[in-house]
Amino acid sequence: MSGSPATKPRTGRWSDDVVVRGEPEYVDQVPRRTAYEAEHPNVEILYLGPYWQAIIREQSGQTIITRHSLKALLDKLEVDVNGPAG
């Protein structure tokens, strides 16, 4: 995608090579995000401009979690699924 502006695909998901302004650690979180989504097919992680959002689909509806950084969102998702560490 070098040289061309990022465009949002029709699926509503940004590709992993989109540079997120103001979040330099984003690239470090891409493998973590990919692994989490592979292990949790009921969770969709989206970048919506200034924030990240996870949509957790459940039988009774859905839960939406919003954070300003991908790292913070993944940290929250892991705590909710695995319980607090330690």
Q: What pTM value is reported for the model?
A: 0.68
7/29 Cα distance (integer angstroms): 21
Name which residue leads in pLDDT, 17 or 70: 70
What pLDDT digit, counting tens, does each position of 6-64 carry? 444 444 554 444 555 555 677 788 899 999 999 999 999 999 988 999 999 999 999 99
Describe the chain by its helix, strand, coil percentages, rounded to 5.
30, 20, 45
Q: What are phi and psi of 57, to 5 degrees?
A: -85, 130
74/23 Cα distance (integer angstroms): 14
Q: Is the dihedral of CA 22, 25, 28, 33 positive or negative?
A: negative
Residues 6+ apart with CB under 8 A from 77: 36, 40, 43, 54, 65
